[in-house]
Structure 1
Amino acid sequence: NERTSFFGGYESVRHSEDALRDICNVSMRVFSLLLSMLPLLPERNCDVSLPNRLLLFLVKLKLGLRYTALGVLFDIDRTTASRHFRAVLTTLTAATHNWIFRPPSSIIRATLPDCFKANYPECRMIIDCTEVRTEEPSSVGQQRVLYSSYKSGYTLKFLVAITPNGVICFCSKAYGGRCSDTRITVNSGFLSVVQPGDVILADKGFPGIKAGLKDTDAVLVMPPFLSGHGQFSEQEVRDTYNIAQVRIHVERMIQRIKIYNILKVTVPITLIPLMDDVFHMCCVLANLQPAIIKPYD
């Protein structure tokens, strides 16, 4: 007898950790944790089972599928797929709103990887901005706000901070691509989580936040700028190398966030109002993955 294979929703992946990871990028343990946060609905309202609603949500995050494609997969109308995605997104964002937080300095110090100890023992956070492409807005005003000269297109921009051991400890709301890294850092509330004596590592896009950090007696460390004589000194070369060696970890963490294709495909205009919550959940899920930095790294 020929065996016919088809996608049967949660029943197709419930006994296959590999399949669940492939289409959702979560383990069964994480899936069960998220499932426990979703409210049960009265049976008459359950056109889609609770596990399938969560699966639909995670599939959209991981694969970046349109609602029409999700409707085909789960045998529902695209509007029903949209409704379930939004409902799960709202519920999980509220349930995990305090999961992205800055740990106490004592914890950061105790878990500091070896690669930071020689040159940046007081490093508490590494920051960077990342952009997500959007469709072209219809209004000129929105076009001006979203246009990114760096990406030569329309984008949303987010600030991410990680601790030295690779845990996301801050993620901003979405800003238009036109917004500078400095402005996002100042306006996002990031400075409020900085504590006295913190060393913050950043790239060259953040010089404007130095004034704000002075109020907290924190120190911003960036790669040196090329001076007028046209080449770096030996010390500047060493500084550039040392910073790059540890700053790469925030880039690795952003790559982990962007394994969710909803952040890599072009974001439809209709999805932009949800992107604050979408980015938050991608950060939460990234933190639930195995650590990217080992203590002895």
Structure 2
Amino acid sequence: MFLMKLRLNTPFQDLAYRFHVTPKTARKTFHIWLQHLSQLAKGLVTFPTQEVARSWLTDKDYGLFPRLRCIIDCSEVVVARPTNLETQQQAWSNYKQRCTLKYLVCVNPLGAVCFVSQAYGGRTSDKQIVLKSGLLDLLVSGDQVLADRGFLLHEEFFAKDVQLITPSSTKRMKQQPQELVCRSRRISSSRIIVERAIGHIKKWRIITDTVPHFLRKDYSNILAVVAGLTNMMQPLVNV
């Protein structure tokens, strides 16, 4: 019942009919398992040590980033419009032009999810999510992190002696040096793996369907469980 809800986002009324229970029991069962498995999922989503992360790096994929620790990106999902005006403002996403929840996903060089943040209102910027998530506390001196150019956190990472690597901005220069263009392409190519990982997470319908009011507070736990289950599937990169 629990896995069916995660994978297909089957309505509780439907689950109740299939498993011969009441809708109330179906919902209660889901929440009980969610609380237990969200704790167990922490053992399936682990941040690699600096030494382990570097042992996975290959010249073919990460030759330009010999000290890479992780690759990060944010995603968001539409949420039912909150009735409270203040909550509604916090959830409003200018990008989606709807109320959403946003979250940070971090993968190791093999593409396994190694960190997932709590869910935040759509108004929260990528920068704020990274700072609030606690990711910086997991990084150590000498690390490199790959991200999209929208992550404007170079100073914050520099303060930790961590290098945030992003594609160069195309706004300031009409024509960039060929070397800079090639480097930006390599960065974009190498960070595709985090987009693929997020794509695997989104195969679970409960992650992509509009989040109803009664599941909003549970969404962070749902993310944690789905991330753990995703890591149990076929890896994106074979060692």
- Same-fold call, TM > 0.5? yes
How many residue pairs align between the two structures?
A: 239
**Bigger radius of gyration:** 1
Residue aligned with 1:96, SS: helix
Quick one: which amino acid aligns to residue 68 of structure 1? Q
Tell me what 1:226 maps to.
170
Matches within 5 A, 1:256-295: 256-295=200-239
- Is the 8 Å Cα contact of residues 158 and 174 (structure 1) preserved in structure 2? yes
Tell me what 2:17 maps to.
72
* 2-structure distance, mates of 1:247, 1:122: 15
Tell me which of 132, 136, 142 is aligned to 2:81. 136
In the TM superposition, residue 114 of structure 1 has moved relative to its aligned partner by 4.3
Superposition TM-score, scaled by structure 1 size: 0.78
In the TM superposition, residue 183 of structure 1 has moved relative to its aligned partner by 0.4
1:253 and 2:184 aligned: no
Quick one: which amino acid aligns to residue 67 of structure 1? F
Superposition TM-score, scaled by structure 2 size: 0.96
In the TM superposition, residue 115 of structure 1 has moved relative to its aligned partner by 3.3
Tell me which of 113, 135, 141 is aligned to 1:196. 141
State, as a whole percentage, how many aligned pairs show the same letter: 33
* 1-structure distance, mates of 2:23, 2:177: 60
Residue aligned with 2:76, SS: strand
* 1-structure distance, mates of 2:159, 2:44: 27
Gaps of 5+ in 1: 1-55
Residue aligned with 2:191, SS: helix
Residue aligned with 2:190, SS: helix
Gaps of 5+ in 2: none
Tell me what 2:37 maps to.
92
Greater mean alpha carbon deviation, residues 92-101 or residues 274-283: 92-101
Residue aligned with 2:42, SS: coil
More relative contact order in 1 or in 2 (CA 8 Å, sep 6+)?
2
In the TM superposition, residue 142 of structure 1 has moved relative to its aligned partner by 1.2
Quick one: which amino acid aligns to residue 48 of structure 2? P
* 2-structure distance, mates of 1:139, 1:152: 18
What's the Cα RMSD here? 1.3
Tell me which of 106, 114, 122 is aligned to 1:169. 114
Tell me which of 49, 57, 67 is aligned to 1:104. 49
